[in-house]
Amino acid sequence: MEDLRPGDPARIGGHRLLGRLGAGGMGVVYLGRTDAGALAAIKVILPEHAGDEDFRARFRREAEAARRVDSPWAVPVTGADTEAERPWLATEFVPGPALSDVVTRRGPLPVRSVMALGRLLSRALAAVHAAGLVHRDVKPGNVLLTADGPRLIDFGIARAADATALTATGLLVGTPGFLAPEQVSGGTAGPEGDVFSLGCLLAYAATGRAPFGGGAVDAVLYRTVRDAPDLDGIDDASLRSLLERCLAKKPGGRPSAAVLDALIPGDVPAGATAGWLPEDVVRLIADRSVALLALPGIDATVADERPGPPRPGPTRRRALLSAAGGAVLLGAGAFAAVRLTRDGAAPGGKSRVIGVHADLTGPGAAAGRAQERGVRLAVDRFNSRDGQLFRLSVKVLDDRGDAGRSVRVAEEFTRDPEVLSVIGPTGDAAAGAALPAYDEAALPVLTVSALQIAFPARANGSFFQTAPSYAALSVPVVSRVLPRPGVKRLGILIDRSGGQAAYQAGYAANLMARDLTGATPHPRVVPPGTTAFGPVVADLLAHHGDAVFYAGDADGAAGVARALAARSFTGPRMAQHTVMGAEFLERAGAAAEGWEFVAPFTHATAPAAATFAAAHRGRFDAEPAAWSAEAFDAAGLVARALAGLVGGGAKGTVPPTRSALTAAVAATRYKGISRSYAFDQERQSLVGRDAHLYRVENRRYRYLGPAQEPKS
């Protein structure tokens, strides 16, 4: 447990806060105590997410789902206020380690422990299903061990079993390696899927490995659907038969959770001691408990000011815990469980933090949220692989698209010694404002969507653009338009309403048309605020423009589209990717049909994005938006570089520095979903112009595939 920080509240919902149990990009989990002395784990949402109605709705759903489950083997909710300015959820607390932590530390559990684990968790799931819910994420990290039995936690992605197709059908939900085949294949996540996940969990507890292996997520998912589970080493016939039934490929071949309870021999009656676990696991629980429960004594009165850090001196509680040992310490179900680590980290493991500097609530919020999700999926993928020397976690800060706030966000990231790299910022202005702070701290920053031709050079060279610039994207624009039959001259309309992005793209297209094809373009520039595009369009056509490229904003693009349609122009029409969005489709109407775009982001329907898109649907119940895959790639690149540094040390004991990671990123070549990544050693800008084509068809953006590079 960490001490409270200066910005932490003193009290939440009638709880005095004692310390931090963990933190992530979405919120902080505190250890709190009521005035009556009861301990609770309190999840508090960060202010930048409290204003997001979609996020608040998900948090409300988590609280409601957890309240509906009545089982001694599932963590109960003790209080919540999902409508507060900072929503919070409190659960009973027990300082038990996660099953994943125990197996990592000491290896597989004996058969008797696995049987007891299975029986009690089947009862927890039976209660979940009786409440009309499906947990959907049964895995070792969501089961914590106490001396009197396990506790199932985390109902953050639970759903009603009878949910509509919109929220339950065709979604890949859960954790690769612990998913049922029907979920991997896009089917409904039903109670049978929870039983399959429990079978995977029990096989992991018995062997120390996931039954469908590790490594690349797509390979794990393929083995889940196609291959028999790896149960080698399980010699007990009863346990093996039980696991084979739980891991049947077809849902109908699995027992229900209630039936599974009856099938498993043995039990751990309520109030039992720690006899169901090996002695070394009991000692681990006791040690963890003593360390976490060395808390300040209960004050006679509660002060209004924020409490200071817990004092290390002995208290009556500490003395009792030390003397009693594990059985008394955790006996009789005194507390329930809570996840102890920041998002993405494993209890007790080394954690390296990737920051996400994004616009989450400003004009670029859609891109910022997509990038945050992409980073989280990359961290999930990294942490799911076997044999990692460390774990990754995510810290997210919102600059609201404001340059001044972007500086403060950068300064906060640079002050956090655990943050080794940052993905972001979202916009050009925010990136330019934050760059000096990041460079001074030598903190490697990989921007996904800030695409200016160049940013000011800095001393440490820690700033990387992981997508082609506005100017570089003009190359595939020209290569797409001019080689077409009958197209000899490209009309280029630069609308200064689009700012530097439009100017750089339009100016570069003018140069590239000459350099790449020898064609004579006809450029026109219109001032900001232009709304009457008829005259300029007439001029482009009068100068024999066979094709048109528009660089500007969505409103201007719609005006140009309508003006071209009014003149029955049917030649190639292209626009900058910044135009893409609902606004252009709505304002252009039928005139939008046939317009094409060269974009730096890929699409969920791209073959290379299939596994990523499935994982995104599973984690967020939504298709990935523009920029999510690119952020996934950027975080994956950082993880690759960081793994190389840590792997080069003595069993990962040498902490990598930010400067070393900057150099490693600069030297890394990485094959991602959207493109291949390599950086120019002098300017550390992206080498290559991999881009993607889209066309408006039936008033929707259809993905056409990767854009072609010029042949010469």
> What would the pLDDT profile of 395-424 be if each residue is shown by its tens digit?
999 999 999 999 999 999 999 999 999 999
Torsion of Cα atoms, 464 then 633 then 385 then 276, to 10°: 100
> Do 152 and 124 form a contact (C-beta atoms < 8 A)?
yes
Whether 137 sits among the annotated catalytic residues: the reply is: yes
117 contacts 268 by C-beta, under 8 angstroms: no
What is d(CA 569, CA 47) in angstroms, rounded to the nearest whole number?
50
Question: Which residues are annotated as part of the binding site for ATP?
Answer: 43
Q: Residue 299: left (phi > 0), alpha (psi -120 to 50), or beta? A: beta
Distance CA 288, CA 589 (A): 63
Residue, of 696 and 106, whose pLDDT is higher: 696
Instruction: Pick out the residues of the known binding site.
Output: 43
Give the whole-number percent of the chain exceeding pLDDT 70. 82
- Poorest-pLDDT segment among 258-262, 308-312, 437-441: 308-312
Cα 187 from Cα 167, distance rounded (Å)? 12
| CATH class held by domain 99-263 | mainly alpha
**Region 207-221 average pLDDT:** 86
Where is average pLDDT lowest: 183-197, 546-560, 620-634? 183-197
pLDDT tens per residue across span 537-596: 998 888 877 889 999 999 999 999 999 999 999 899 999 999 999 999 999 999 999 999
Cα-based angle 103, 105, 109 (whole degrees, multiple of 5)? 35
Mean pLDDT of 76-92: 88
Give ranges for CATH 1.10.510.10 in the chain: 99-263
Residue 271 has φ and ψ, to the nearest 5°, of: 85, 5
Q: What is the mean pLDDT of residues 58-75?
A: 84
Q: Please choose, from the candidates 368, 306, 437, 397, the residue with its C-alpha nearest in 3D space to the C-alpha of residue 10.
A: 306
> Who's near 284: CB < 8 A, 6+ residues apart?
97, 102, 105, 106
State how far the Cα of 607 lies from the Cα of 660, in Å rounded to an integer.
Answer: 34
Most confident of 95-104, 145-154, 548-557: 548-557
The whole-number average pLDDT for the span 529-540 is: 92
Residue 66's pLDDT band, with cuts at 50, 70 and 90, is confident
CA distance 84 to 87: 5
For residue range 294-349, what is the model confidence (pLDDT) as tens digits?
554 433 323 223 233 333 333 333 332 333 333 222 222 222 222 223 343 333 34
For 450-497, the pLDDT digits (tens) are 998 877 767 778 999 999 999 889 888 888 887 777 777 889 999 999
The DSSP code sequence of 143-209 is EEEETTEEEE---TT-EETT--HHHHTT---S-TTS--HHHHTT----HHHHHHHHHHHHHHHHHSS
Task: Tell me what pLDDT residue 24 has.
Answer: 63
β-bridge pairing 15-23 and 11-12: antiparallel
Residue 128 pLDDT more than 70?
A: yes
Name the nearest CA neighbour of 468 among 598, 279, 362, 320. 598
Domain boundaries for CATH 3.30.200.20 within the chain:
11-95+285-333
Tell which CATH architecture fits domain 11-95+285-333: 2-Layer Sandwich (3.30)
The structure tokens 């299903």 sit at 129
Q: Output the pLDDT for position 658.
A: 92
pLDDT digits (tens, 9 = 90+) for 343-372: 433 333 457 899 999 999 999 999 999 999
CA distances from 4 to 17, 97, 309, 559 (A): 8, 22, 6, 55
Q: Is 474-599+695-706 assigned to CATH 3.40.50.2300?
A: yes
164 vs 108: CA distance, rounded Å? 39
Q: In a 3-state reduction of DSSP, which class is residue 459?
A: coil
Catalytic residue among 3, 35, 54, 137: 137
* More reliable by pLDDT, 457 or 201: 201
Sign of the CA dihedral 588, 589, 590, 594? positive
In 3D space, the residue among 340, 441, 275 whose CA is nearest the CA of residue 96 turns out to be 340
Identify the CATH class of 351-468+608-679.
Answer: alpha beta
Sign of the alpha-carbon dihedral angle for 375, 623, 428, 470: positive
- pLDDT tens-digit series, residues 656-676: 899 999 999 999 999 999 999
User: How many angstroms separate the CA atoms of 178 and 136, rounded?
Assistant: 10
pLDDT at 390: 87
The per-residue pLDDT for range 152-169, each reduced to its tens digit, is 987 655 555 544 332 333
- Residues carrying CATH 3.40.50.2300, the chain: 351-468+608-679, 474-599+695-706
Report residue 262: phi and psi, to 5°: -75, -25
